[in-house]
Structure 1
Amino acid sequence: MARSLITSDPDARPEHFRNLFEECLFVFMVMMATASTTFLQGVVVINTATIARDLIMTPAQVTWISAAIGLASGSFMLFFGKTADLIGRKLQLLAGMAFLSVTSLATAFVSSPIGLNVLCGFLGLGTAVISPPAVGTLFATYPEGQRRNKATGALGCGNPIGFILGSVSSGIVTKYFSWRASFIVVAIFFAIITVSSFWTMPPTPRAGSLCSEAKQFDYLGTVLTILGFALVSAALTEAPELGWQSLQVVMMFLFGFICLVGFATWENYYPFPLLNPVVWKNKTYTLCVLCVFFGYMSFITNLFWISLYMQDVQHLSPLHIAVQLLPQAFVGFIWSYIGQALVSKIPGKIIMGIGAMAYLVGAALQIFVRQDTSYWMILFPSLCITVIGADFQFIVSNLYISKQMPTQSSLAAGVLQTVMRVSISIGLAISAAVYGSVAQTPKGREDVNLPFERAYLCSLMFAVVGLLFVPFMKIE
């Protein structure tokens, strides 16, 4: 029989764990589950040019390598957040981990651009499966207290650690073997995590009736939101090649917009909505979500385009690129703990503002990157500054949710995670449209830096928009 999840002493080790090693392994598993999207981005972002040359991909198809992961993850996050309590958190987590392992292995043997984009979408789907049950189990295992604070604090370090593991392992394997071998390593990694999760993850009872929940589930809302974001993203990425006035692009924009408007309308009338509109009644929360959406959009597009620039223009190897991006992950780890220390001393509004300014300054610096630009003068400070925004805004937003929205914390946190993942696909789609349009002009063909400059400018504008929401927040 399973041991009790929660001990009587909130600061003692939960009784499920026999020793500190099991407990640390469990926390690491939860951390990697929440950072799985970033981990996969680290794997693919330093290999985009290598993959593109091998599979003869168009610029739009290259963009979808990363965008498909974010779009699928964000679109299905709320769905799998609801299924976790119905089918069992441990069962869903193990199934998701195994699915990621198998899909990663299949990706290593893909032979076409479309096949790769589809499999990247399935990888994003897998990350949406594992994140909700992992976080839910952590909060069910630890009662309020210092031990829970330490465990949840580790989650803030997940994204930088995930990116380090993904990019460095991918860079090393690609250098000595090929980009395909990096996905085999990913498959092995998720297989190991699956076994570890089976051993360390506490079983939790199912909640609710599967049959009744299946009848009440918002199927139409799920379909509308997935189709809406997918069609708009596809239209943006394909427009530079097909033409902005082409029938295919116009129809994708039109139907995507109709789906998103239909989703917003439907959620206000359906009695069991996928995204309960009540969460938006908290104005500060809404502003936080918008700020995080545009800020993270700036962060991801910066990372994608500078990585592609180092591959296409500077002709650096994947391992060299991973090493150059590594400081951002290490510094992000440090900023995460600094942010956790600051929230008890400085108003959250100021910390959100610092994060928004960090996004803006980092994006502005990146515009000046050239082939012969000193790494230490421009790119290094840009990487170290930009990650402040990702860490600080993540910490403050989640803290606000836990303290000011206790009755809606699960929904609000799920929406925040969804928004961060959807911002990846939307941001890459917009910047790819700008990049592709400029690259096809005479000036873009003559000056290889110009299309990248315009893509960096998109990141800067995203950061500016995110900053505009900060003055209206009320976070102590």
Structure 2
Amino acid sequence: MADMAADQKEIDQEQNTADVLRDPNERPECFSSTIQECLFILTSTMAIGQTSFFQGAIIVVLAEISRDLNMDSAETTWSTAGVALSSGAFLLPFGKVADMFGRRTMFIASMIGYTLSLLVIGFANSALYFDILSGVMGIFCASSVPPAVGILGSAYEKPSPRKNKAFACFSAGNPLGYVGGMLVSGIASQVSTWRTSFWALAVIYVLFSITSIFTVPKEPSRAKVALTLENLNKLDPLGMLLAVAGIALFSSSLSLAGDAPQGWKTPYVIVLLILGILLIGAFIYWQSVCSTPLMPLYIWRDQNFSLLMGALSLGFMAFVSGQFWMALYMQQVQGYSGLGITVRLLPMVIGGVLVNVVCALILHRVSNKFLMFIATTAYMGAFLIASFTKEDSVYWGCYFVPFILMVVGADIEFNVVNMYVMSSLPPSEQSLAGGIFNTVSKLVSNVGLGVTTAIYNAVRDQVALR
């Protein structure tokens, strides 16, 4: 064990020595051309946006799916929550696996698996079929993100304008995937049925799956370890079990509480919540005593790291739930069609692209503290304005402005925090760094939806009693 750590440290030192003489703004040596580099970054952007693309696509046609497959409220909830739950639960384990046994193969296999899942889910003929496929799709989402982050982090090891541009593009996948999925689904469902929405996404991801085969850079053999029983034990199997079970149970309680018969007082919701918290607590304790932890706790002792992750958590809780409730409000209260909602959300896509372009140009020139101040202020302004929304509110005042400010907050925070997290761990653990970052963002998104759903139900019940 100590020998393996020493060998890896020596490899990292050799890489650092070799890189000293290179201009950090040059194209990384692992890419044979700028075209390959750009195509891989674009493919990675689509990889990190997989969960968001699916959730955005499904929200537009959820009512039609629920009616066609005779779903009850619980099954409808799982159709949207399943992908996020399984994705969030498996991100950390897959980060460790990618760092140890190779990122390239895992990334390509995950892209293909996600594409096939989109194709198959379009043939769903029952609620159970659809919900199970949603969970399976989440596993492929979880297995694609850590290797993508790991490859990018290793390729662009040193800070540079080129690295900022690469990660700004990559960071756009998560916030913009939701709206992109709505756009594809809105158009496809208008042309045909809800099934066409997923097949249209499958066609898009077929192209990127093929692209990944030719653009994902090959890894040096020394970057991987042999598949032996000893190395499998170093994956921290107990930590994986505790993390997956804890996150899954905790997230399930949040997702089910809104539609449970007695809300948060429903016995099975309480049991899931308590078990989830206990298992997450046990996971954290185990990481403090395990010799090869799944998630090194030392990174959380970095005050800046902890503060940034806290700010990101609060921001993403608001961003994801804000998108969901504003889209639902337009659908159920204002009566807009799926395509109508998509058109009204389109400024988020355009604004997000522009914000990421700006981030790529200024990240290495502007203080991170100032950028985080801009992001959090944008969030505050967005939801302050949105809180005054009424049924007859003008779109340009109560929707357009909050949408733009939400994207400004989300994309700036995502870029700043992502860059800092990637610099907190060595090149050999870049996939794990991506797993930690994305696990937190997925987990807090579920928390945000759970909290806002509870608030909505409480207000609805009070109104019903009047």
Which TM class, normalised by the smaller chain length?
Answer: 0.7 to 0.9
- 1:23 maps onto 2:37 in alignment: yes
- 1:162 maps onto 2:162 in alignment: no
Task: Kindly indicate whether the alpha-carbon contact (under 8 Å) linking 2:89 and 2:439 is maintained by their aligned counterparts in 1.
Answer: yes
In structure 2, the partner of 1:110 is 124
Instruction: Single out whichever of 26-35 and 41-50 deviates more from structure 2.
Output: 41-50
The separation in 1 between residues aligned to 2:250 and 2:175, in whole angstroms, is 29
Paired residues for 1:257-296 under 5 Å: 257-296=277-316
Identity %: 32
The separation in 2 between residues aligned to 1:412 and 1:251, in whole angstroms, is 31
The separation in 2 between residues aligned to 1:63 and 1:70, in whole angstroms, is 11
Alignment-mate amino acid for residue 193 of structure 1: F
Alignment-mate amino acid for residue 237 of structure 2: Y
The 1:403/1:191 distance shift into structure 2, 3 A limit, reads closer
Task: Kindly indicate whether the alpha-carbon contact (under 8 Å) linking 1:237 and 1:430 is maintained by their aligned counterparts in 2.
Answer: no
Task: Kindly indicate whether the alpha-carbon contact (under 8 Å) linking 2:381 and 2:405 is maintained by their aligned counterparts in 1.
Answer: yes
The 1:31/1:247 distance shift into structure 2, 3 A limit, reads closer
Alignment-mate amino acid for residue 380 of structure 1: F
Deviation at 1:164, TM superposition (A): 4.7
Task: Kindly indicate whether the alpha-carbon contact (under 8 Å) linking 1:60 and 1:237 is maintained by their aligned counterparts in 2.
Answer: no
**Residues 58-87 of structure 1: CA deviation (Å, up to 9, x unaligned):** 444444333332222222112111212444
Deviation at 1:434, TM superposition (A): 3.2
The 1:55/1:370 distance shift into structure 2, 3 A limit, reads farther
Aligned residues: 440
Task: Kindly indicate whether the alpha-carbon contact (under 8 Å) linking 1:35 and 1:159 is maintained by their aligned counterparts in 2.
Answer: yes
- 1:366 maps onto 2:386 in alignment: yes
Secondary structure of 1:430 counterpart: helix
In structure 2, the partner of 1:221 is 239
The 1:306/1:94 distance shift into structure 2, 3 A limit, reads same
Alignment-mate amino acid for residue 190 of structure 2: K
**Residues 176-203 of structure 1: CA deviation (Å, up to 9, x unaligned):** 1111111112222222211111122222
Paired residues for 1:123-202 under 5 Å: 123-142=137-156, 144=158, 145-159=160-174, 161-202=176-217
Task: Kindly indicate whether the alpha-carbon contact (under 8 Å) linking 2:169 and 2:356 is maintained by their aligned counterparts in 1.
Answer: no
The separation in 2 between residues aligned to 1:200 and 1:269, in whole angstroms, is 40
Task: Kindly indicate whether the alpha-carbon contact (under 8 Å) linking 1:310 and 1:321 is maintained by their aligned counterparts in 2.
Answer: yes
The 1:187/1:403 distance shift into structure 2, 3 A limit, reads closer
The separation in 2 between residues aligned to 1:23 and 1:342, in whole angstroms, is 21
Give the counterpart of 1:233 among 251, 269, 287: 251
The separation in 2 between residues aligned to 1:269 and 1:276, in whole angstroms, is 10
The 1:235/1:406 distance shift into structure 2, 3 A limit, reads closer
Task: Kindly indicate whether the alpha-carbon contact (under 8 Å) linking 1:242 and 1:249 is maintained by their aligned counterparts in 2.
Answer: no
Deviation at 1:249, TM superposition (A): 2.5
The separation in 1 between residues aligned to 2:92 and 2:248, in whole angstroms, is 16
**Unpaired segments of 5 or more residues in structure 1?**
1-5, 447-476
The 1:176/1:294 distance shift into structure 2, 3 A limit, reads same
The separation in 1 between residues aligned to 2:241 and 2:142, in whole angstroms, is 16
Alignment-mate amino acid for residue 92 of structure 1: M
Deviation at 1:16, TM superposition (A): 6.1
Paired residues for 1:323-472 under 5 Å: 323-402=343-422, 410=430, 411-439=432-460, 441=461, 443-444=463-464
The 1:110/1:82 distance shift into structure 2, 3 A limit, reads same
Deviation at 1:330, TM superposition (A): 0.9
Task: Kindly indicate whether the alpha-carbon contact (under 8 Å) linking 1:70 and 1:423 is maintained by their aligned counterparts in 2.
Answer: no
Paired residues for 1:6-45 under 5 Å: 11-13=25-27, 19-45=33-59
Query: Aligned-residue CA RMSD in angstroms?
Result: 2.8
After TM superposition, the score normalised by the length of structure 1 is: 0.84
**Residues 6-42 of structure 1: CA deviation (Å, up to 9, x unaligned):** 9977555556656544332222112211222222232
**Unpaired segments of 5 or more residues in structure 2?**
1-18
Secondary structure of 1:46 counterpart: helix
